[in-house]
Amino acid sequence: MHENTINQITDPALMSIAEKVFAGARLSPEDGLTLLQSADIYTIGRLANHVRQNLHGHTTYYNINRHLNYSNICALSCKFCAFHRKRDQDGAYEYDMDRIRKEAITALDAGATEMHIVGGLHPFLPFDYYTEMLSAIRETAPNIHIKAFTAVEIVHLARISKRPNDIEAVLQDLKEAGLGSLPGGGAEVFDDRVHDEAFKGKIRSDKWLDVHRIAHKLGLMTNATMLYGHIESLEDRVHHFTMLRDAQDEAINNNHAGRFQTIIPLPFIPDNSELQHLPGPSGLDNLKMLAISRLMLDNFPHVKAFWIMQTLPLAQIALDYGVDDMDGTVVWYDITKTEGQGTHQEVTPTTLKTAIIEAGYTPVERDTLYYPITRDGKDWQRAEESMLLS
Ligand code: V47
């Protein structure tokens, strides 16, 4: 297989990278740039697939989840974002605790294992709103894992709870109220030029990484994203990979119970944003970014194709390009919608499973921490626990 791949390389610049991948050696930032500049998508895919097969064989993970965007009211107005509203603007909303409880009941009735919760940086809600939201979900649906709040929201919560320099205490409070892990959002691109142009006011890379470092120290698993295909350069993308890889090395070397689990490359969706004159990345860009994420982030266990942004057909193909996770059923999603699409963006578990099987892979339902699930309708448990009981 290695020989086949090497013989079919059309871009000679990829030769030494292929040798490193087959030897299990770490790729350098220069290798990352070479991969991003190469048009040899088949070789990049085969190399990423080699790593994916070593780690996960034919397994492809998915989950039954609910995304919950509790409010779109945001103090910031990032250019790439079509979600944010000011409080008095048309379409602005915030959920009260009754609505949050209702969402938890609906998630429970659907057999969901995870609620993924993010929102705008609301200028007026108090810190208690967030702890009450977590407690309300935990009381209503004790088994559901709560993956909530991007690092940007955590910094905002530290400010509104008047502890801007004590992220650790804030995360502890949230953990006690029910927080199970942090999603990967808000990382955008780790570069100050891009930051100041497209998302000024948001935290910079050092702060984003700090929040994740502290979460890892407290034993919380986290994810990471990269929002690409807008005004960033290929060098910026490489820098982003390197910073994430270094931060994961740090968590591993310090033996922290928390780590990064998954990288989720997010293709920029221009519709309705201030950057809608930009074309956004192509399908080939998306496949390349997923594959290169697999190759560069050798210490991240999982690569996710978020089908909402990648589309389900491309996510299927991406399984041959390094991806081992499809996210889940989602149901409601308000952050990105292409023209004509509403917030109801759902696939059924059967559709997800069928898509995975059709692509030649074995679907495995997982919980948020990647434990396989056994299920009887809406009742579920970790497979290892069901083995202990039998
Ligand atoms: O933080 C905002 C991004 C993120 C746009 O952790 C946009 O498992 C594309 O982080 N085009 C939220 N992206 C989504 C996210 C995520 C999704 C799925 C799984 C996980 C996980 C995390 O979406 C935001 C921002 O980076 N975003 N606007 C846009 N126009």
Tens digit of each residue's pLDDT (9 = 90 or more) over 94-128: 999 999 999 999 999 999 999 999 999 999 999 99
pLDDT band at residue 338, thresholds of 50, 70 and 90? low
CA distances from 99 to 157, 163, 272, 290, 329 (A): 21, 28, 27, 36, 20
Least confident of 30-34, 75-79, 278-282, 334-338: 334-338
Average pLDDT value over all residues in the chain: 95
Å from CA of 98 to ligand 1 middle: 26
Strand pairing category for 362-365 and 379-382? unpaired
pLDDT band at residue 8, thresholds of 50, 70 and 90? very high
Tens digit of each residue's pLDDT (9 = 90 or more) over 262-283: 999 999 999 989 999 999 999 9
How far apart are alpha carbons 21 and 44 in whole angstroms? 11
Q: Is 81 in the pocket of ligand 1 (CB under 6 A)?
A: yes
Å from CA of 54 to ligand 1 middle: 28
Å from CA of 347 to ligand 1 middle: 18
Å from CA of 299 to ligand 1 middle: 22
Å from CA of 165 to ligand 1 middle: 26
DSSP, collapsed to helix, strand or coil, labels residue 227 as: strand
Tens digit of each residue's pLDDT (9 = 90 or more) over 55-82: 999 999 999 999 899 999 999 999 989 8
Å from CA of 177 to ligand 1 middle: 24
Tens digit of each residue's pLDDT (9 = 90 or more) over 179-188: 999 999 999 9
Q: Is 185 in the pocket of ligand 1 (CB under 6 A)?
A: yes
Residue 324, pLDDT > 80, answer yes
pTM of model > 0.75: yes
Indicate the top mutation candidate among 182, 231, 330, 336 to test ligand 1's pocket, ranked by most ligand atoms within 8 A of CB: 336
**Beta partners for 146?**
115, 179
Tens digit of each residue's pLDDT (9 = 90 or more) over 117-164: 999 999 999 999 999 999 999 999 999 999 999 999 999 999 999 999
How far apart are alpha carbons 268 and 278 in whole angstroms? 9
Tens digit of each residue's pLDDT (9 = 90 or more) over 215-262: 999 999 999 999 999 999 999 999 999 999 999 999 999 999 999 999
Contact call for residues 243 and 209 (beta carbons, < 8 A): yes
How far apart are alpha carbons 63 and 365 in whole angstroms? 5
| Nearest residue by C-alpha to atom 5 in ligand 1 | 81
Start and end residues for every CATH 3.20.20.70 domain found in the chain: 60-364
| Nearest residue by C-alpha to atom 12 in ligand 1 | 185
Tens digit of each residue's pLDDT (9 = 90 or more) over 292-318: 999 999 999 999 999 999 999 999 999
- The 10 Å Cβ neighbour count of residue 123 is 13
DSSP, collapsed to helix, strand or coil, labels residue 389 as: helix
The predicted structure's pLDDT at residue 388: 64
Indicate the top mutation candidate among 227, 304, 345 to test ligand 1's pocket, ranked by most ligand atoms within 8 A of CB: 227
Residue written as token pair 């492809």: 60
Q: Is 314 in the pocket of ligand 1 (CB under 6 A)?
A: no
Contact call for residues 267 and 287 (beta carbons, < 8 A): no
Q: Is 119 in the pocket of ligand 1 (CB under 6 A)?
A: no
Burial 39-67 (b: 16+ CB within 10 A, else e): ebbebbbbbbbbbbeebbeebbbbbbbbb
> Among the atoms of ligand 1, which is closest to the Cα of residue 81?
28
Å from CA of 185 to ligand 1 middle: 5
Contact call for residues 196 and 244 (beta carbons, < 8 A): no
Q: Is 208 in the pocket of ligand 1 (CB under 6 A)?
A: no
The topology under which CATH files domain 60-364 is TIM Barrel (3.20.20)
